[in-house]
Amino acid sequence: MPYSFDQASKDVVKKLQGRDLRPVECLSYATKFRLFNILQETSSRLAFKTEYIPVGFTLLHILEPNIPVPEPEVSAPIALKHDLFMELEANLDVRDSAGGGVGFDKSGGYDIEVQSKSIPNPKLESLQNRKLLDQLPTFMKTCRTDGKNLYVVTEAYELTKDTVLEGTSNGKFSIKGIINQLVKGEAKGRRMRKDSISVPKGSVMAYKLQQLVIENNTCVILHSHHGKKRMTFPGIPKYESAPNPTDRYLEISIATGPWKNDIDPIGRIKEPAHLDFRCLQNEVYKQTERLAELSKNVQEVVFSSFLHMLCEGDRNVLYDLMNKLELNQLGHMGGPGGKILDELRKDSSPPWIDLKDLILYLLQALMVLSDTQLCLLAQSVEMRLLPHQVDLVKSILQPNFKYPWNIPFTLQPQLLAPLQGEGLVITYGLLEECGLKMELNNPRSTWDLEAKMPLSALYGSLSFLQQLSGA
């Protein structure tokens, strides 16, 4: 598959090293993160990053007309180049009757030029405390009711020219020996795929945002995204789903359980208790239990729809569905996403189960993963690898989750045993895309703090898909 827009955007953010700089997730939304575009904060999750989705309006659409608009500052063009090559191979040993190997490699990259357009704080002063329109758009009324926070784009890195992202992937296998009871010999094969994506000039690769505060029918843009948290609509309690008795039980258990006094090696500092792996495990368990309470028919519709989207490898469809749910737009949508919206409109779930929230949970987990991982997840479902992968990912997260430094670890042989040949390559591909350095013939690796979020999202995605696939 090609070097995706999502990969390129994340890499651009790393190269620019700008504080509070965020990548644009999907190419189809790359023109909706320009200066003054308004973004809505998504529902927060324990281990997944907060997403910011465009609402389709700019700041200028909601302010009183005929206001002076500050001129953006434009930087000199910045040239960025990146080449990627990854290779994984595994030896086969099937009951001592056949040997060989499987593997895949992929390459890709980009050669681009970006330019920053920004409105620094001194220029934003001309927009501070401006009156809003008397008739506000519907989305703002919904945000006020639900206590959703809004933000405005104040800096955007845009492509200065049309660009093509290219990528090549190769799959290969060889088997030699007794292939089955009737056949003795050897087999070889190779599968190659080359793709490209055209990214037009003006597409936003990365952006910065600042929060909006609406009070007394005026608009204020906060100078910093940090500091004390404020609500966009002060005085309106932030929307939270109905409390669940299990939530309070887990909160008490984590605070008072027998592990609260665990002693770590001298000199080691672990992250706060609420960031312990047990919190993530309990949260995922609670959500999958709620999934299990849905009717078999609903689970099958949700599962088949997500599997279709994963097989297509189209991140834009997943992102579009997430946006529609976050913005409460349950209208028309084609394809498998439309089938999920149909289920939501006729939702017959038990009253204590929020089907939309469950779907959003899976969507937010999937959006943390790369395009390559989405495709590998589809293959994992088809090869029925999910239970083994859940156990393997859990075995990595559980001992390392709370430590903010690099720690060597060894994968447990009994967990690798069921993953043979192509299944092992697919699984290692999922782990390596999270940021772990994996070698197929060496079970040792190193925990990297940057891998924590994608591994957590992978754990949640695998758990959800496993539950749905067994419906």
Q: Which of 333, 342, 423, 436 is nearest to 386 (CA)?
A: 423
pLDDT value for 291: 93
- Residue 101 binned pLDDT confidence (cut-offs 50, 70, 90): low
Rounded mean pLDDT of 192-211? 86
Give the residue-averaged pLDDT of 317-331: 88
Residue 51 domain flag: yes
Q: Is residue 154 part of a domain?
A: yes
Asked if 272 and 195 sit in the same domain, the reply is no
Burial class (CB in 10 A: 0-12, 13-18, 19+), 135: exposed
Considering the domain architecture, whether residues 214 and 313 belong to the same structural domain is answered as no
- When pLDDT is cut at 50, 70 and 90, the band that residue 247 belongs to is very low
Check whether 454 has a pLDDT greater than 70.
yes
> What is the token pair recorded at 54?
């465009």
Q: What are phi and psi of 405, to 5 degrees?
A: -150, 170
Question: 68 and 133 share a domain?
Answer: yes
User: Could you tell me if 251 and 180 lie in one domain?
Assistant: no
Q: What is the pLDDT of residue 239?
A: 43
Tokens of 216: 């007394």
pLDDT in tens, 379-404: 999 999 999 999 999 999 999 988 88
Place of tokens 């080691």: 268
Q: Please, which residues bridge with residue 80 across strands?
A: 112
Please indicate, yes or no, whether residues 190 and 284 belong to a single structural domain of this protein: no
pLDDT of residue 470: 83
The pLDDT mean for the chain works out to 80
- Residue 127 tokens, joined: 């927009």
Same-domain pairing of 149 and 273: no
- Please spell the DSSP secondary structure of 277-332, one letter per residue: HHHHHHHHHHHHHHHHTS-HHHHHHHHHHHHHHHHHT-HHHHHHHHHHHHTT--S-
Question: Could you give phi then psi for residue 389, rounded to 5 degrees?
Answer: -70, -35
Mean pLDDT is lowest, of 100-109, 434-443, 447-456, for: 100-109
Indicate whether 234 belongs to any domain: no
Element (H, E) at 433: helix 422-433
**Per-residue confidence band for 234, with pLDDT thresholds at 50, 70 and 90:** confident
Q: Both 195 and 269 in a single domain?
A: no
Confidence label for 46 from pLDDT (cuts 50, 70 and 90)? low
3-39: pLDDT as tens digits: 688 888 988 999 998 788 999 988 989 999 999 999 9
**What token pair was written down for 172?**
């290969």
Q: What pLDDT does residue 175 have?
A: 40
Higher local confidence (pLDDT), 86 or 222: 222
Which stretch of 39-43, 57-61, 384-388 has the lowest confidence by average pLDDT? 39-43
Q: Name the strand (E) or helix (H) holding 461.
A: helix 452-469
Is residue 435 over pLDDT 80? Answer: yes
* Domain closes at, from 186, 221, 256: 221
> What mean pLDDT comes out for the span 353-370?
92
Task: Measure the CA–CA gap between 17 and 148, rounded to whole angstroms.
Answer: 29
> Is residue 226 a part of any domain in this protein?
no
Mean pLDDT of the region 201-210: 95
Domains: count for the chain = 2
DSSP secondary structure, 154-216, as one string:
EEEEEESS-EEEEEEEEEEEEEEEE-SSS-EEEEEEEEEEEEEEEE-TT-EEEEEEEEEEEET
DSSP notation for 84-108:
EEEEEEEEEEETTTEEEEEEEEEEE
Kindly state whether residues 293 and 366 are assigned to the same domain: yes
Task: Give the domain range for residue 309.
Answer: 245-469
Pair (462, 362) in one structural domain: yes
Length of the chain: 471
For residue 362, pLDDT beyond 60: yes
pLDDT of 274 above 70:
no
Give yes or no: residues 163 and 284 share one domain.
no
pLDDT tens string 64-76: 888 889 999 999 9
Secondary structure letter of residue 170 according to DSSP:
E
Confidence of residue 102 (pLDDT cuts 50, 70, 90): low
Q: Select from 221, 237, 263 the last residue of a domain.
A: 221
- Co-location of 206 and 326 in the same domain: no
DSSP strand pairing (73-74 vs 98-118): antiparallel
Q: pLDDT at residue 448 above 60?
A: yes
Residue 221 has pLDDT above 80, yes or no: yes
pLDDT at 163 over 60: yes
What are 292-307's pLDDT values in tens digits?
Answer: 999 999 999 999 999 9
Q: What is the dihedral of CA 436, 437, 442, 444, to 10 degrees?
A: -60
The residue among 206, 221, 236 that closes a domain is 221
Q: Which band of pLDDT confidence, cut at 50, 70 and 90, is reported for residue 193? A: low
- Judgement on whether residues 405 and 307 belong to the same structural domain of the protein: yes
- Any domain includes 405: yes
Q: Is residue 235 part of a domain?
A: no
In a domain, 240, yes or no: no
Does residue 419 fall inside a structural domain? yes
